[in-house]
A and B are shown apart, each in its own frame.
Chain A
């Protein structure tokens, strides 16, 4: 079979085109790597686009929004008590904690205060949400870095925390239990003893994780000095929670926020910080925080005051005109609701300030110059929940 000149030219052209593509991939622009939207390290649907030069990230961008549910708009057509059902689903691993700042903002506008017993039980559940959330983080952290065991321990022990939350609220994931002026119900019988046993269990889980991970040579090699965030940068990006305390900023809204309606002031606990600002620091701070949270729960269980669990609230809840911003220290960081009320049954505008949104917005800055495997470590250590980014 003879090859015509025309066919030969076509072949050469095609070769040249291929070569050009290859050249583009290898030089100038580098290679573009898409992590997500469906990547295990993104815990959902976060997409990270990274431009690589060899193994190094030259430039990276984050594309959220695959799960945007428009809660700020939806809240405008709900009544105040109905909003908690929505916001439960923002950070779905620590749901109860999402309800609290909204309820506190409404209480602030209505100028009512929950009775002492309600404040204490609220704080207990708030801290248990933290325990359930961070427990899973500690397990997942190992899974991201190639250690398979911790994640099974985490699911095993978190289940007991969820059981306790379910025993009070009836919901494992979405309690919808907090009310303006107090709580829906009191604690069931025998709950306190069970909870203290579970907290003991979580403390031994923390010890196990510490042994398995934090003393591990590979873990240290992969997290120490990786993804360093200096304190000033962390502040300007609005990082909160363990992400900012891992950068050495001694700031915790439970202690410093002056939040009315929770009982953190009544118990003895401490805020942990770590000066390094790297992935290790953030993870270590979270581990310590889980321990502190179990201590808070224990102390509150011991000193639980009696009395009613609901303040006197009107039958139909109308919130007086005004604006309030209440921020609490949620498992993922500071979460706040800016509530504007026009004296109606529902809020006029709700701005939801969620922790992961700000925590993740630092990624384009942070990923510049890191190596590909470190992207996963950094994503894991910043610790975000997709619902908390997209809202």
Chain B
């Protein structure tokens, strides 16, 4: 059982006294035992979540094992992540946008909890809902998909609810699901081209016209910016200003 903790939850507190989540380690052990080498990565956020990354071929088996062995009969959701950094940045050239790294197509992408090697990753959340007796279990499964063959086995035979989630994932990311009873558009019109949630799909509204919201953002004094960058903890007096500033951002509806 490997414990590959990939740069998630900040580690300051944990280095002193590493928190061990025995319950989640137990679920992880159960799944690892059942799946063997198919488990290629994992991450435990103590008291919060368990991520298990499995190989693509055992995606279905992993879900089945979670259902049978952990009692995760509740299908929460399924979706995908495109790990490629967006070539468009955030479509802004304001001061708040300057820190964004320019897009480099040759760079490898850093991936999140549980690790990952490819651009596309499917993930789903399954849970055991026993309620009060404390038998709760929940796991986030992940699987890497190679760029040239974006397909994975459908979970519909296990969970009826996977049907719509897989249809959405198919039209938004272009990932197909083998064995799905009817992979057709859910949200988008039938003739729609492209996969909107891929990072290289431009948000056209932002390309044709600069976002009006950016006008409302007050330019921050340069001195305050430096101070914030140097010192994340703000003094109480400054915190009040910060509150006003941050709120200003949120209210341009």
Chain A residues packing against B (C-beta within 8 Å):
64-65, 68, 70, 72-74, 76-77, 79, 81-82, 84-85, 88, 108, 111, 174, 176, 179, 184, 232-233, 235-239, 244, 249-252, 255-256, 258, 271, 310, 312-317, 320-325, 327, 334, 336, 338, 340, 342, 344-346, 349, 351, 353, 357-358, 361-362, 365, 390
Is A258 within 8 A of B47, CB to CB? yes
Interface string of B47-73 (1 = CB under 8 A from A): 111010000000000000000000001
B213: which A residues are within 8 A, CB to CB? 82
A selection of 10 A-B contacts at a CB cut-off of 8 Å is: A65-B189, A73-B196, A179-B243, A236-B73, A237-B75, A251-B74, A256-B132, A313-B239, A314-B233, A345-B96
Minimum CB distance partner of B100 in chain A:
A344
How many B residues are at the interface, by size bracket? Answer: 35 or more
B132 touches A108 (CB 8 A): no
Residues in B lying within 8 Å of A, measured CB to CB? 7-10, 45, 47-49, 51, 73-77, 79, 81-82, 85-86, 90-92, 96-97, 99-100, 110, 112-113, 123, 125, 129-132, 136, 140, 158-161, 163-165, 172, 185-189, 196-197, 203, 206, 211, 213, 220, 224-225, 227-228, 232-234, 236, 238-239, 241-243, 245-247, 249-253
Contacts of B220 in A (CB 8 A): 316
List chain B residues, Cβ under 8 A from A233: 160
CB–CB A358/B77 < 8 A: yes
Determine the chain B residues whose CB is within 8 A of the CB of A88 once the complex forms: 253
A residues less than 8 Å from B90 (CB atoms): 76-77, 345-346
Asked if residues B242 and A362 are in contact (CB atoms below 8 Å), the reply is no
CB of A247 to closest CB in B, whole Å = 11
CB-based contact A176/B76 at 8 Å? no
Question: Is the CB–CB distance between B131 and A313 below 8 Å?
Answer: no
Contact of A251 (CB < 8 Å), options: B8, B129, B239:
B129
Across the interface, do A65 and B186 meet the contact criterion of CB distance under 8 Å?
Answer: yes
Q: Let me know if A351 and B75 touch, CB within 8 A.
A: no
Q: Which of A73, A108, A324 touches B197 (beta carbons < 8 Å)?
A: A73
Contact B136 A256 (CB under 8 A): yes
Chain A residues within an 8 Å CB radius of B123: 338
Closest 4 CB pairs between A and B? A65-B187, A315-B242, A250-B131, A237-B161
Residues of B within 8 A of A271 (CB): 131
**Which residue of the partner chain B has the closest CB to A62?**
B164
Given A179-B243, A336-B77, 18 new contacts (CB under 8 A): A65-B188, A84-B250, A85-B251, A176-B250, A237-B75, A238-B77, A251-B74, A252-B131, A271-B131, A316-B228, A316-B246, A322-B9, A324-B48, A345-B99, A349-B81, A358-B76, A358-B164, A361-B164
A81 to B247, CA, bound (A): 7
Q: Which residues of B contact A239 (CB under 8 A)?
A: 161
Chain A min CB distance to B109 (Å): 10
